[in-house]
A and B are shown apart, each in its own frame.
Chain A
Amino acid sequence: MRRILIPLLAACAAAGLAGTLYLVFYVTKLEQNLFFNQKIFYWHVPNWFMLFSMVFLCGGASIGYLVKRDPKWDDVAHAAGELAVLFGAIGLVTGSIWGKAAWGHWWIWELRLTTSLILWLTMLGYALVRRFAGPGSEPLCAGLAIFGMVNVPLVYFAVKLADKLGQASAHPKAKVVAQLDASMKGTFWLSVLTFAAVCALLFLVRIDAIRDARRLRAVRERGLDAGILEP
């Protein structure tokens, strides 16, 4: 199953990336207000979709792990947590480039930007703890992911409410997708699918590696416990 799925996803992702690049630059129309700057939107937004799906996958799997104590759930949370950091980083970089072009600033303290940055920092902390806490720290990491996930709406509302007296947000709203014309919309959703394929591919490869490492460790530990292997 995996043997077919992984090359298939890789092919889809490669074709999708090449295809969306072509569509973005040669087929879609220029946007009326932002002109050429808007092109980055096709790659920027799907990354945020992936970040948030990975964060909630990580948080959900962590709850599953704390309830069931099955290491499979921990593997899912581990892989999802790492991918959240990756997609968050891409989203922040592409967003900054867009921000510089559209607003003249690399960064502004706006609702979506602030929320995403804090979420990304949380996941970075999660990845750090994953890396340095060593074996036996799985429940700790699960706790961290749950706290981070619960924190997302709190941060969102805190920033939103703090902003309510300020000016209207400079960041495009979610409804811009609905206002796109057909070719733009098609390209956008193709791009989302492409990044979903990239994400699924990385997720599968990573979770296989994590699971294999865990199993190898378990076999070795069983040997040590049984006194067959000498340390």
Chain B
Amino acid sequence: MSVERPRIALAGNPNVGKSTLFNALTGLRQHTGNWAGKTVATAKGEYRWRGVDYELIDLPGTYSLAAHSEEERVARDYIESGRAEVVVVVCDATCLERSLILVLQVLEFTGRVVVCVNLMDEAARLGVEVDVTALSDRLGVPVVAAAAGDGIGLDDLRCAIEKLVKGEGEPAPAPERAPEQRVSLAERYARQVLRGQEESRLRRQRRLDRLLTSKSTGIPIMLLLLGAVVWLTVAGANLPSALLTKLFASIGTWLEGLLAGAPAWLSGLLLDGVWRVTAWVVAVMLPPMAIFFPLFTLLEDLGYLPRVAFVLDHAFQKARTCGKQALCMCMSLGCNACGVTGCRIIDSPRERLIAILTSSLVPCNGKFPTLIALITLFFVGGRSGLLPSIEGAALLLGVLVLGVAGTLACSRFLSATVLKGMPSSFALELPPFRKPRVGQVLVRSVLDRTLFVLGRAVTVAAPAGAVIWLTANITVGDATILAHCTGFLDPFARLFGLDGVILMAFLLGWPANEIVLPVMLMAYLATGSLVEFDNLAALGQLLTQHGWTWLTAACTMLFSLFHWPCSTTCLTIYKETGSLKWTAAAVALPTALGLGLCLALNCAAHLLGVA
């Protein structure tokens, strides 16, 4: 067999730390988290060991190779094809018996297997030990103990792989067994190689589980946790945002000096258009994201997200969809495009499509700054301090809950109309709580998520800034292009409690939700450029001068919550569904909902005379 560049496949149950092991071996940074189904596609990487390059393939996590779901098909096809010279089956030491069922099944396909018993550290905390030598004797293949999160056992694993690659002869696959036989064999092996008691520790886990999911405490704790995350984001982002704004203002002055000799249109385009919009996006977006993502990742690492899905499942059952949709919804909270990709964890095509179509109904991080600003200005009275920040967070939490309600209502609507059907079967694993690796979480969430999303926002904000500046500065007839457009949209927008400028801002904000507010300001100021605001009060004054009332703010927030997905999300939806029709539906659904709610609110307020 060629040893040019041996291919090694990683297989295993979902959530056994396969991705962590993959990252540890290759030095790559695939997203990891404590819930089943994160690895939605096969990832490839490589590592070097004693002068030989190895290619490593991370297969999706599966409970079996029976090919019932997409992931199982992918994993089975890969292992069956014999493309991998060695298959590493990763086991969970805290749940060895179940892991062994898959090991036995893989052994029926190939004898070139290394078993890696991962999460030994967690098992030790639970008071459990695994006798790997005894297990190796029984399975007839090398078994390595590892704790991939701390880098323990990696070299042993690399050695075992090397031995198998260099070794002569072809170990024969095991004879095929019936599923029940596999289960009972796994049970016997597990009993023979496991030492220790896990009861006391498990009891503590159960207590926490009961607290997080019981009738009286489950939902209040969920709201409190989400509220706390939102409050920390709202309250914590203020100061760094102000500092960044100041910093960018001074850089702007310096750039101004640099461009002093340039023609007016060029410095206007670059400075007032590109630079100011980009600087705004970074200043208002970076701090909330840098707080929200790590907090969220901590909860994810702890294992809380599957509990959320468990608590919310009944509602999704009523909406006739999959309970795993709650996990996609959580992902959408960070970024709608991530939520859409995450929908791959849902097996049933019907339910997956529903989850994709409703993914943009929960507000992504990019909408937070606009929502926070409007809440602070119009509903908390522009005050600052501890109490107003709590009020603001409570209102933002309300907006999030409204988003969840919208998701459920639209899912039910789709289940009853174009995507008729009953919920399919699913089993959701609730993994043991893990102590979050705080340092790792911070680095990962800032580097991988925050900078990734920010980078994407900046790449669209810069050209968008140029386009906006051009529309606001090129005059056709008696007004600028932007003024023509807003004037044209105005009568229509008024029906929904908005105005032409607001609607235009949402249209121009298609590339990124973060730039909606800056576009509004540019249009209102009619100076054709974005003026920096040192404080929110000045912003509030400007909006009030242009006829904003609490109703305008409420309608704008509603429309911000429910309108077309951003361009990245639209593209992702198209990629995932492969259909222009469904992409169009994903645009139409939230837009119709948003316009409908704005119209209703506007009419109700006027009829009741509270506008």
Is chain B a partner of chain A in the same complex? no
B residues at A contact (CB < 8 Å): none
A residues neighboring B (CB under 8 Å) = none
